[in-house]
Amino acid sequence: MNPSSNVPEPRPMYWSVRRELWENRSVYIAPLVVAAVYLLGFLISTMTLPRRMNALAVFGPVSQQMVVFMPYSIAASMVLLTGFIVGVFYCLDALNGERRDRSILFWKSLPVSDLTTVLSKASIPFAVQPLVSFAVALATQLAVLLLSTLVLLVNGINPATLWARLPFQMSLVMLYGLTVHVLWFAPIFGWLLLVSGWARRATFLWAALPLFAIAQGEQIAFGTSHFASMLRYRLEGAMVEAFTDHAAKVRILRPSQLDPVGFLSSPGLWIGLVFAAACLAAAVRLRRSREPA
């Protein structure tokens, strides 16, 4: 029997991602803290929940759904927004931080390619952070649902309204919306990782100022705002492309308002993904040649 057959095969990508999670605990701590704060606030608000549920009878069906679903929608929005903010600041520091503290010299001595390292860092905002945010948001919604049910049962109120279609519908819409925004924001994350690999310091300024300068330069030179409109479209266009026309006019989205065909056929999606891939390729080359800051 060959002794080498008992040696586990190295998994550089797996351990590189684990390393990122070890060094960046905010990836999962920040969503958990936001969820805990929201649950504390919701727990206090349950003192008036029976009165609010009894008052639903005077509202129409649409207003009733709005009142019942709103706490779950707010919980998901807070957690997912926190995940996006964490992803932005993670990208700004991902490649710059290891050059700033010179740990890049140690990591480059290991048998891990620059491509693997950059892809492992990119996997945090593209995959790990969204999955963590989704799990935390889902757990928060479930906790809200159980707390609401318990309070209503104690006060002799039937909680059937809460359980009618809520769990499946909201989970489906949330997962779809999260996937859509990750793909749509891919060029943002790619650009931030590129700047992180290039800038020696003040990565946020280097990421934002060129975009601001181009927008202002176009406005002054030509009197137009096409570049600024493109940036606004990149920030807000996911809702336009991935949902039906009237989805932006309501606060509670339903599965019938999802438009995956329209989203996947959007030129803006594929242009953004190509740009993100180009940024990641440039970040790999920069890491290969860049010296410590």
- Residues 166-186: pLDDT tens digits? 556 778 888 999 999 999 999
pTM of the predicted structure, to 2 decimals: 0.86
> Over its length of 293 residues, how does the chain's per-residue pLDDT go in tens digits?
455 555 455 688 888 899 899 989 999 999 999 999 999 998 888 887 777 766 665 665 555 566 677 888 889 999 999 999 999 999 999 988 887 777 766 666 677 788 999 999 999 999 999 999 999 999 999 898 888 888 877 777 666 666 665 556 778 888 999 999 999 999 999 999 999 999 888 999 999 999 999 999 999 999 999 999 999 999 988 988 998 865 555 556 777 788 899 999 999 999 999 999 999 999 999 888 766 65
CA–CA gap between residue 226 and residue 233 (Å, rounded) = 10
35: containing domain:
10-289
- Residues 241-277: pLDDT tens digits? 998 865 555 556 777 788 899 999 999 999 999 999 9
- Residues 227-238: pLDDT tens digits? 999 999 999 889
CA–CA gap between residue 113 and residue 288 (Å, rounded) = 9
pLDDT of residue 57: 59
Determine, yes or no, domain membership for 54.
yes
Could you give phi then psi for residue 102, rounded to 5 degrees?
A: 65, 15
CA–CA gap between residue 126 and residue 130 (Å, rounded) = 7
Determine, yes or no, domain membership for 32.
yes
Could you give phi then psi for residue 224, rounded to 5 degrees?
A: -120, 170
Tally of domains in the chain: 1
Determine, yes or no, domain membership for 168.
yes
Determine, yes or no, domain membership for 207.
yes
Instruction: Please name the residue that has the structure tokens 């019942």.
Output: 68
Determine, yes or no, domain membership for 217.
yes
Could you give phi then psi for residue 197, rounded to 5 degrees?
A: -80, -20
Determine, yes or no, domain membership for 226.
yes
CA–CA gap between residue 130 and residue 81 (Å, rounded) = 10
Mean pLDDT (the chain) is 84
Determine, yes or no, domain membership for 2.
no
Determine, yes or no, domain membership for 3.
no
